């Protein structure tokens, strides 16, 4: 046996990174775990992108149209009278110095159409709009009460007048961190020489006992974090050298959608819930392909509702790559159907019902699902080379000219440690990026 350093053993040995990136081999030799996970889908569908920095940024445009909320209003009630409103602080931008309303804008206030005659934006976080009713027979003052939403829907100006103020179009900054995942498996003495032999397509292979658990746990550590993880804030390691080095953790799917996405609750999933989901996606102008990632309990409920009732014709599979994309979707275990104008690629993910973690008593994840947009969008403010477009969901990993920290492994044996043992080490530095969160939905009880 050759010395067990990186690049160890011979061509028949399956190294730990083989288990992580060769899903066809892993599924055949490791029946103990079902490893069709979010990591698998993102990696094997090409939804990955390297980053040279621990913090990775991306930008997204907000809605093209805006609305504001009334904080206070003044005016005399009655047909044709003008109302003056001060908008809520939350309706401002740029630390309160900007707001979307401008002269000539048409607005909708509780069924009454109005026209912004003038604005006063001299006081930050307290911009004032003076609004006339479009029809002299309408009472716009009465409907312009505190907390009322004012929707800006169009504009109109008199003939011969000048152009309006510039519209505001500012992309929003989002960011996340790469997280360092590290796993070690150590075996002692003669136990480290134990191996399992098997054959794939007539060619013999072997791997060392214990490597299965180490490789799979390292992979699952990442998968659970893509689901449950939260972005760290002021987390440091007091025992590091030097002391108090930052510990960066990456925001996961549940945190992303809970904080920035849409919420859909259910008691027993039925067609009304499915209809509500489709209406939300239509409102948010979501793409025509959606991934629906479910815990087992919700997935069974959905099957009971839609199985045999949904239209399976005209399903779109563009986001599963080139070639036979439908076959690739089936290989990943997705059951696809079309409802209204969208294709839904649905499946239960077993790691959302893993007894020691997500399947414990009181865990919400077996009853939870995430409806996720599958699309590519343009980054309005590229922050790196070839960063003009991005997938709505992407696995970012640390890489530069010297090393790739996506799937890194090394081994140490007696020739290095002078101890009669064999170490298997795994390290990954990666984080989850999720764009267009207004088009995502968390479905839960």
Q: Token match 């140490």: residue?
A: 412
Q: Say whether pLDDT at 31 is over 70.
A: no
For residue 432, name the pLDDT band (cuts at 50, 70, 90): very high
Number of other residues whose CB lies within 10 A of the CB of residue 74: 13
pLDDT of residue 16: 59
d(CA 445, CA 430): 31
pLDDT tens figures, 176-222:
999 999 998 887 756 555 677 777 777 777 777 677 777 778 888 99
The encoded tokens of residue 295 equal 């815990």
Higher pLDDT, 63 or 432: 432
Higher pLDDT, 93 or 367: 367
Q: Give percent of the chain with pLDDT exceeding 70.
A: 85
Cβ partners under 8 Å of residue 289, min gap 6: 316, 317, 318, 319, 342, 343, 345, 373, 374, 375
pLDDT tens figures, 400-428:
666 678 877 777 777 777 777 778 888 99
pTM of the model: 0.79
Burial (CB count within 10 angstroms: exposed 0-12, middle 13-18, buried 19+), residue 345:
buried
Across the range 350-362, mean pLDDT stands at: 91
Q: Say whether pLDDT at 1 is over 60.
A: no
pLDDT of residue 17: 61
Contact assessment for residue 47 and residue 361, using Cβ atoms and an 8 Å cutoff: no
Across the range 263-292, mean pLDDT stands at: 94
Q: Token match 């479905």: residue?
A: 443
The torsion angle over the Cα atoms of residues 397, 368, 353 and 268, rounded to 10 degrees, is -160
Residue-averaged pLDDT of the chain: 85
Contact assessment for residue 253 and residue 434, using Cβ atoms and an 8 Å cutoff: yes
pLDDT of residue 6: 39
């Amino acid at each position: 046996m050759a010395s067990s350093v990186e690049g160890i053993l011979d061509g028949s040995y399956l190294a730990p990174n083989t288990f992580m990136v060769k899903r066809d081999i892993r599924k055949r030799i490791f029946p103990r775990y079902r490893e069709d996970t979010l990591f698998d889908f993102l990696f094997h569908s090409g939804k990955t992108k390297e980053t040279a920095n621990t913090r990775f940024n991306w930008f997204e445009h907000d809605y093209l149209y805006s609305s504001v909320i009334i904080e206070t209003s003044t005016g005399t009630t009655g047909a044709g009278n003008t109302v003056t409103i001060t908008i809520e602080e939350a309706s401002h931008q740029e630390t309160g110095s900007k707001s979307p309303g401008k002269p000539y804008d048409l607005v909708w206030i509780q069924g009454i159409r109005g026209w912004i005659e003038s604005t006063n934006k001299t006081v930050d976080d307290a911009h004032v709009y003076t609004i006339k009713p479009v029809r002299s027979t309408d009472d716009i003052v009465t409907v312009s009460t505190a907390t009322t939403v004012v929707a800006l829907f169009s504009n109109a100006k008199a003939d011969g007048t000048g152009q309006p103020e510039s519209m505001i179009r500012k992309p929003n900054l989002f960011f996340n961190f790469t997280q360092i995942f590290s796993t070690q498996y150590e075996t002692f003495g003669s136990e480290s020489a134990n191996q399992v032999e098997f054959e794939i397509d007539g060619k013999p292979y072997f791997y060392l006992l214990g490597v299965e658990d180490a490789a799979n746990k390292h992979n699952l550590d990442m998968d659970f974090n893509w689901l449950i993880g939260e972005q760290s804030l002021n987390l440091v390691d007091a025992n590091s050298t030097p002391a108090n080095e930052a510990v960066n953790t990456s925001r996961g799917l549940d945190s992303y959608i809970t904080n920035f996405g849409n919420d859909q609750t259910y008691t027993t999933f039925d067609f009304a819930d499915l209809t509500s989901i489709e209406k939300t996606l239509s409102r948010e102008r979501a793409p025509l392909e959606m991934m629906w990632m479910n815990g087992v309990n919700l997935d069974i409920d959905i099957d009971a509702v839609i199985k045999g009732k949904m239209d399976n014709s005209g399903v779109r599979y563009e986001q599963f790559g080139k070639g036979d994309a439908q076959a690739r979707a089936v290989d990943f275990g997705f059951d696809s159907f079309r409802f209204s104008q969208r294709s839904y690629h649905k499946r239960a993910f077993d790691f959302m019902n893993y007894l020691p973690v997500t399947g414990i008593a009181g865990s919400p994840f077996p009853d939870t699902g995430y409806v996720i947009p599958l699309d590519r969008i343009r980054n309005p403010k590229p922050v790196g080379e070839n960063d003009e477009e991005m997938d709505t969901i992407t696995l970012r990993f640390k890489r530069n000219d010297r090393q790739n920290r996506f799937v890194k492994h090394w081994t140490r044996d007696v020739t290095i440690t002078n101890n009669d043992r064999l170490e298997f080490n795994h390290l990954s530095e990666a984080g989850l990026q999720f764009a267009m969160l207004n088009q995502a939905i968390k479905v839960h009880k």
